[in-house]
């Protein structure tokens, strides 16, 4: 039974929400083999591996031994039913946790009518296209003796692709496929992967990149890359790309936009001793803070306030302890520039550590590597009747209070224009 309409649904009127799913907000469904070995962080079956929510469905009777060593014979109907169940729950795309299920790629895609990516092997043609002439993609699989030309052809992998397996290893194959025990020696499993990688490049020196067939291998990908000095692609790299197409860039920005860490410590002094010593309150140190400045400049009265600003790891440390404890550390650093300043502090201190605040978890927006091209520029765009304001959505003053004001005015104007247009339509 097909659980999805053949054509996209028509847009709903404003203010109407569409139903039809049991679960929302988890667009990726994962078909799981029935196994009891450890799912360490990085493993596809560990939900903590993914930076987005996923739906799991275990296919009863689909043991690793039956799928990997016996060609998944007789299991296609079970996988088709399980995939439909995932889509019925709310999955908008489906993948699997075994590269050997490439055999079912065509049938699954035909049945569920949503994007399907059964195997990490699907990356091989993409990676090959990126390599220079004379270099080839090599495969590391959990079992080379049963990875047949049919498995490769099902996802467009050339039959002569260099392949090495782990079936002669000491731990990985014995635990995952033979199910000889439920515990696994992580170091021994990693060594099996490294041994397979070294054997692969020794037999095929033309290998310029490696694709890991097995979805349980990503925890060891970094060690393999370090050992061989070659790029390594696995199910995690493929699913990251796969998932990116399921949600607009705006949602990625909302979930993933980086935030800086800053802490400000304001101390009040009986007088502005820094002025008497020929300064203006601005100092720069590498210690308990990074920079200070006079926030009472231009105000009447004798008392003055210095703000001690820190960022990054220093800001995190500045959020520890009490404000009074951090004040004594800051004053000790300031004494090197303004001797005697500590005696002028009147004991009043206020601290703002934004990364500790439950509603902010950070200070201003700070694009992480790759985010500028991933989604910068969409932060301010409205989504239907939802309008976005805040410094993170400002195009002119990104990261500054000016940006919060500018974006608030912009969002207000957008709402006024939108309301006016709605009123005209209603008339």
pLDDT of amino acid 391: 92
pLDDT of amino acid 7: 40
Specify whether the CB–CB gap between 363 and 354 falls below 8 A.
Answer: yes
Does any domain span residue 18? no
pLDDT of amino acid 417: 82
- Pair (269, 169) in one structural domain: no
pLDDT of amino acid 48: 86
Between 46 and 417, the more confident residue is 46
Which of 249, 274, 301 is a domain's end point?
A: 249
- Pair (325, 339) in one structural domain: yes
Q: What is the pLDDT of residues 50-84, one digit of tens each?
A: 877 899 999 999 999 999 999 999 999 999 999 99
pLDDT at residue 376 greater than cutoff 50 = yes
* pTM metric for this prediction: 0.60
Does any domain span residue 5? no
Does any domain span residue 255? no
State how many domains the chain has: 4
DSSP β-bridge partners for residue 209: 137
CA nearest neighbour of 326 among 302, 312, 299, 308: 308
Which of 197, 215, 249 is a domain's end point?
A: 249
- Pair (54, 87) in one structural domain: yes
DSSP β-bridge partners for residue 164: 140
Q: What is the pLDDT of residues 379-419, one digit of tens each?
A: 887 766 788 899 988 888 888 999 999 999 999 998 888 77
pLDDT of amino acid 374: 76
CA distance 58 to 235: 18
The answer for residues whose C-beta is within 8 angstroms of residue 101's C-beta and 6 or more apart is 31, 67, 72, 79, 118, 119
233: phi then psi, degrees, rounded to nearest 5: -120, 140
pLDDT of amino acid 24: 72
- Pair (267, 334) in one structural domain: yes
Chain length of the chain: 427
| CATH classification of the domain holding 348 | 3.90.660.10
Q: What is the pLDDT of residues 286-319, one digit of tens each?
A: 999 999 999 999 999 999 999 999 999 999 999 9
- Pair (112, 189) in one structural domain: no
Q: What is the mean pLDDT of residues 6-31?
A: 66
Q: What is the mean pLDDT of residues 110-127?
A: 95
DSSP letters for 94-115: EEES-GGGGGGHHHHHHHH-S-
- Pair (102, 126) in one structural domain: no
Tell me the C-alpha to C-alpha distance, in Å, between residue 218 and each of 7, 141, 173, 224, 379.
36, 12, 15, 10, 32
DSSP β-bridge partners for residue 57: 31
- Pair (165, 178) in one structural domain: yes
Does any domain span residue 365? no
Does any domain span residue 340? yes
Q: What is the pLDDT of residues 332-366, one digit of tens each?
A: 999 999 999 999 999 999 999 988 888 777 888 88
pLDDT at residue 11 greater than cutoff 60 = no
CA 398 remoteness from chain centre: 22
Calculate what percentage of the chain has a pLDDT beyond 90: 71
**Average pLDDT in the chain:** 90
Place of tokens 């079936």: 167
| CATH classification of the domain holding 170 | 3.40.50.1860
CA distance 276 to 273: 5
Question: Which structural domain range is residue 406 located in?
Answer: 379-426
């Amino acid at each position: 039974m097909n659980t999805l309409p053949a054509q996209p649904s028509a847009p709903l009127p404003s203010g109407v929400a569409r139903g039809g799913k049991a679960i929302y907000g988890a667009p990726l469904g994962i078909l799981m083999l029935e196994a009891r070995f450890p799912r360490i962080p990085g493993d596809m079956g560990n939900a903590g591996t993914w930076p987005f929510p996923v739906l799991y469905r275990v296919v009863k009777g689909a043991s690793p031994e039956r799928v990997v060593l016996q060609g998944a014979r007789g299991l296609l109907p079970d996988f088709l039913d399980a995939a439909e169940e995932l889509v019925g729950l709310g999955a908008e795309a489906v993948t699997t946790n075994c590269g050997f299920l490439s055999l079912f790629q065509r049938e699954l895609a035909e049945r569920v009518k949503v994007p399907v990516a059964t195997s990490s092997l699907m990356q091989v043609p993409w990676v090959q296209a990126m390599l220079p002439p004379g270099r080839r993609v090599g495969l590391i699989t959990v079992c080379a003796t049963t990875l047949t030309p049919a498995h490769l052809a099902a996802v467009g992998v050339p039959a002569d692709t260099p392949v090495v397996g782990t079936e002669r290893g000491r731990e990985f194959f014995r635990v995952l496929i033979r199910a000889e025990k439920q515990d696994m020696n992580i170091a021994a499993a990693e060594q099996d992967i490294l041994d397979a990688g070294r054997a692969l490049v020794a037999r095929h020196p033309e290998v310029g990149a490696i694709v890991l067939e097995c979805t349980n291998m990503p925890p060891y990908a970094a060690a393999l890359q370090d050992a061989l000095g070659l790029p390594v692609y696995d199910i995690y790299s493929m699913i990251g790309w796969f998932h990116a197409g399921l949600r607009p860039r705006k949602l990625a920005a909302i979930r993933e936009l980086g935030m800086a860490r800053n802490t400000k410590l304001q101390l009040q002094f009986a007088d502005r001793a820094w002025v008497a010593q020929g300064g203006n309150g601005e100092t720069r140190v590498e210690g308990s803070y990074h920079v200070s400045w006079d926030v009472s400049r231009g105000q009447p009265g004798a008392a003055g306030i210095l703000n001690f600003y820190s960022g990054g790891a220093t800001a995190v440390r500045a959020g520890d302890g009490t404000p009074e404890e951090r004040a004594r550390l800051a004053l000790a650093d300031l004494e090197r520039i303004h001797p005697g300043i500590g005696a002028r502090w009147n004991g009043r201190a206020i601290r703002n550590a934004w990364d500790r605040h439950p509603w902010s978890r950070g200070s201003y927006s700070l694009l992480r590597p790759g985010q500028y091209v991933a989604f910068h520029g969409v932060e301010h765009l409205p989504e239907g009747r939802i309008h976005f304001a805040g410094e993170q959505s400002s195009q002119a003053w990104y990261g500054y209070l000016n940006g919060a004001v500018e974006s608030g005015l912009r969002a207000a104007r957008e709402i006024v224009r939108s309301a006016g247009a709605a009123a005209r339509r209603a008339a």
